[in-house]
Amino acid sequence: MDCETTDVVICGCGPTGAMLSAYLGQMSIPNIVLEKGAEITTDPRGIALDEDGIRLLQGAGLYPSVYTEIGTCMHKFKFIGGTDLVLDKRAFIEMDYGTTEGSTGHVGFICHKQPALERCLRDTMASSKYCDLRSNSEVISLSEDDQGTICQYRDAKGQERRIRSQFFIGADGKTGFTRKQYLEPRGILMEQAHQSFYEETWVALNWKISLPNEKTHPDFALWRLGYTPEQVYDLFFPLNFRFICNPNRPSVCGRFGLPSDRLWRFEFVVGKGEDGDEMAEPGMIKKVVFPYITHPGRRYGLLQDVQFPEDCIQVLRSRPFRFSARSCNRWSDGRVVLCGDAAHVFPPFGGQGIASGFRDAVSLAWRLAVLCRIQEDKPNFHEQVLKAWYEERKQQLEKSLSSTIENGKFVTESNPFKIWIRNVYLWFVQLVPSWRHELSLGRRKEGLVRYEHLPGMPFMAEHNGGLCLPQVYCRSLQGSDTEVKFTDDIIFGQGKTGMFQLLVYLKTLDEVASAREVVSNIGDLSHGLIRDDETTFLVEDMAAASSKIDQDLFRLASGEEFAQSKLCENRPEPKFYDPFCLRKAFEGRRYTIIRPDRFIFASCNSREELRTIARAAAAHVQGSEAS
């Protein structure tokens, strides 16, 4: 049997696998993606994506699609208590994710339609000559030797084929081939991932809503009161996501996708002694969910209750799922790697499943690119690089899990005394404006992720390394180009080929000339890891203007400038945006070397230090620091 070759084979083209392929394509790394399904599933699964996820979509070139094809800002998370089945009651706490108070320049969450998200990622893959998606292709065997991996799969025509690659990535989910059939016999197992163990069965329900009107539903009572079809929709399926902290039946619900999609998600816990499959049946859905879309007549001065018309509801999904917080003990073995749901699974309360897979993919992509390009002269260098990768990722995973489980505690608490204590505490906290504001930030109050350094991790903790780089807005100082941009897009701009990038952060234009002298010849010292001609200069002074044509020179932009730009179309204006968060993150340092996954390798403030950290960056990717 003939055996073709490529650098990387990815098993699975869900969001994680597609994101990994897209970023590898940006780095000119040939990759083949084997997807078991013939088409993108039309069943929306994950529906929430946090600001990190939006940022990484932006990095894949998909920001123009975020609010036009993929989703909508989620705005507020409302936590409502009590046992009455009412959605528009007063919340005991609200978390506002429609602001830009995080460190990415984006809103806190969007509610997306996963099929649209996956289609956009696949379109990005299709635009790259380095990405090769093969649908309806099932992996049937995998082996390794000294040169790499050999994958055997059955293609869309039923023929068996083989691919040799340097690395094989399992992005095929928690029940996929890579972990279940290949790595579990080698000792890689899912384990409890957090000290607050959580495992429950929930039913996930997706509805597509059609608008009733006076012609289709002439007997619907609210027409006589002057309500329009859109108003009826808003009454029964209100804006903002709701965490229903009902001790009898904890639930979560809200709209997702674009407003025109009219999609609604409802999830509820399966109680003790109940069967998940039975609870997902239409009869039980009517008992559990329909009371929330049935309003008492007295609300409208009517004698009879008002239910949203059942024939205007199309059921897209009604399935039980076992939610848990688990992570594999190791995420790689030799040249076979797990990422996304294949490596870890989340409870549903924090919208972290897809975002965590994105983080896995982007932080893995540049490491694979390095490993595929260099000639290893150190035994097992790739194993050390991959181990350092998943040890980094596990640190952030633990943080995300903690926030997710904290949200879950709000929803699932059933002890009356603990509920009373919780409500009294939250009532008291919200009496103080500053405390109320901090509470409204939700998980964003935890601030930027900073990794704790362990041997082999590619950053210098003593030079501010391991910190996630904030993103702000900026404008070019080149006369004709006045569009507002995201700083990621200028730092990692199209056409740049250096693996790491150098950002020079200055207060005024007067400092630019001397800074250019400092960064000269950095490319030689880093053995091409960083390129001198790709350095980005960012000036803090928002009033700065220059008559010179310097394509690498930018100034900070204000929130008001962003609000008037095309980048702000279909999303909220950047409320609470901090244009100076880069200065705070750098702590006065001018020169920062940045990894492709948006983490700082090191920052410094002098010519000598810059040369030291440039040499160290090159040493890391060449293996001399991988022990």
Segment 149-154 mean pLDDT? 96
Segment 356-366 mean pLDDT? 96
Segment 488-517 mean pLDDT? 92
pLDDT digits (tens, 9 = 90+) for 57-72: 999 999 999 999 999 9
Q: Cα 465 to chain center, whole Å?
A: 22
pLDDT digits (tens, 9 = 90+) for 565-603: 999 999 999 999 999 999 999 999 999 999 999 999 999
Please state, in angstroms and rounded to a whole number, the distance separating the CA atoms of residues 349 and 252: 8
Segment 418-441 mean pLDDT? 82
Highest mean pLDDT among 122-131, 143-152, 185-194, 536-545: 122-131
pLDDT of the residue at 627: 35
Strand partners, 306: 295
CB neighbourhood size of 452 (10 A) = 10
Please state, in angstroms and rounded to a whole number, the distance separating the CA atoms of residues 440 and 443: 9
- The CA-atom distances, in angstroms, between 208 and each of 79, 85, 117, 263, 316 are 24, 21, 18, 5, 7
Q: What is the DSSP string of 505-569?
A: EESSGGGHHHHHHHHTTHHHHTTTSS-GGG-EEEES-TT---SS--TTEEEE--HHHHHTSGGGT
324 phi/psi in degrees, rounded to 5: -155, 170
Asked if 162 contacts 31 with a C-beta cutoff of 8 angstroms, the reply is: no
pLDDT of the residue at 415: 80
pLDDT of the residue at 524: 78
The yes-or-no verdict on residue 44 having pLDDT over 60 is: yes
Percent of the chain clearing pLDDT 90 (strictly above): 72
Please state, in angstroms and rounded to a whole number, the distance separating the CA atoms of residues 474 and 489: 10
Segment 78-107 mean pLDDT? 92
How high does pLDDT run on average in the chain?
90
pLDDT of the residue at 342: 94
How sure is the predictor about 377, in pLDDT bands with cuts at 50, 70 and 90? low
How sure is the predictor about 161, in pLDDT bands with cuts at 50, 70 and 90? very high
Q: Which of 7-11, 43-47, 349-353, 384-388 has the lowest mean pLDDT?
A: 349-353
pLDDT of the residue at 418: 83
The yes-or-no verdict on residue 197 having pLDDT over 60 is: no
User: In b/e form, how buried is each residue of 295-321, taking b as 16+ CB within 10 angstroms?
Assistant: beeeebeeeeebebbeebbeeeebebb
Task: Specify the long-range contacts of residues 608-614, CB closer than 8 Å, at least 24 apart.
Answer: 609/463, 610/518, 610/519, 610/522, 611/522, 611/525, 613/460, 613/463, 614/522, 614/525, 614/526, 614/529, 614/530
* Tokens 């007549």, residue located: 297
Helix axes 15-26, 114-126, angle to 10 degrees: 30
Asked if 448 contacts 472 with a C-beta cutoff of 8 angstroms, the reply is: no
Segment 35-42 mean pLDDT? 92
The answer for residues whose C-beta is within 8 angstroms of residue 445's C-beta and 6 or more apart is: 438, 439
Please state, in angstroms and rounded to a whole number, the distance separating the CA atoms of residues 154 and 107: 42
pLDDT of the residue at 131: 98
The answer for residues whose C-beta is within 8 angstroms of residue 373's C-beta and 6 or more apart is: none
Element (H, E) at 366: helix 353-373
pLDDT of the residue at 351: 64
What fold is seen in the domain 48-52+60-111+199-324? D-Amino Acid Oxidase; Chain A, domain 2 (3.30.9)
pLDDT of the residue at 436: 81
Short-list 39, 36, 57, 32, CA closest to 117: 57
CATH of domain 448-622: 3.40.30.10
Instruction: Please give the structure tokens belonging to residue 462.
Output: 């003593």
Q: Which residue has the higher pLDDT, 545 or 250?
A: 250
Handedness of CA 601, 603, 604, 605 (dihedral sign): positive
Q: Which of 113-117, 380-384, 524-528 has the lowest mean pLDDT?
A: 524-528
Asked if 553 contacts 491 with a C-beta cutoff of 8 angstroms, the reply is: no
How sure is the predictor about 398, in pLDDT bands with cuts at 50, 70 and 90? confident
pLDDT digits (tens, 9 = 90+) for 262-290: 999 999 999 989 999 999 999 999 999 99
Element (H, E) at 168: strand 160-170
* Tokens 């597509």, residue located: 208
Segment 30-57 mean pLDDT? 93
3 phi/psi in degrees, rounded to 5: -130, 110
Please state, in angstroms and rounded to a whole number, the distance separating the CA atoms of residues 498 and 601: 14
pLDDT of the residue at 424: 82
Short-list 317, 316, 259, 290, CA closest to 67: 259
How sure is the predictor about 353, in pLDDT bands with cuts at 50, 70 and 90? confident
How sure is the predictor about 626, in pLDDT bands with cuts at 50, 70 and 90? very low
The yes-or-no verdict on residue 521 having pLDDT over 90 is: no
Please state, in angstroms and rounded to a whole number, the distance separating the CA atoms of residues 51 and 8: 28
How sure is the predictor about 198, in pLDDT bands with cuts at 50, 70 and 90? low
The yes-or-no verdict on residue 195 having pLDDT over 60 is: no
Segment 348-376 mean pLDDT? 86
Domain ranges of the chain: 4-44+113-192+330-412, 48-52+60-111+199-324, 448-622
Q: For strands 76-81 and 241-245, give the pairing.
A: parallel
The yes-or-no verdict on residue 386 having pLDDT over 70 is: yes
Fold match between 4-44+113-192+330-412 and 48-52+60-111+199-324?
no
Q: For strands 31-34 and 3-11, give the pairing.
A: parallel
Percent of the chain clearing pLDDT 70 (strictly above): 94
User: In b/e form, how buried is each residue of 409-430, taking b as 16+ CB within 10 angstroms?
Assistant: ebbbbeeeeebeebeeebeeeb
The yes-or-no verdict on residue 483 having pLDDT over 60 is: yes
pLDDT of the residue at 434: 83
Q: Which CATH architecture has domain 4-44+113-192+330-412?
A: 3-Layer(bba) Sandwich (3.50)
pLDDT of the residue at 416: 83
Segment 333-358 mean pLDDT? 85
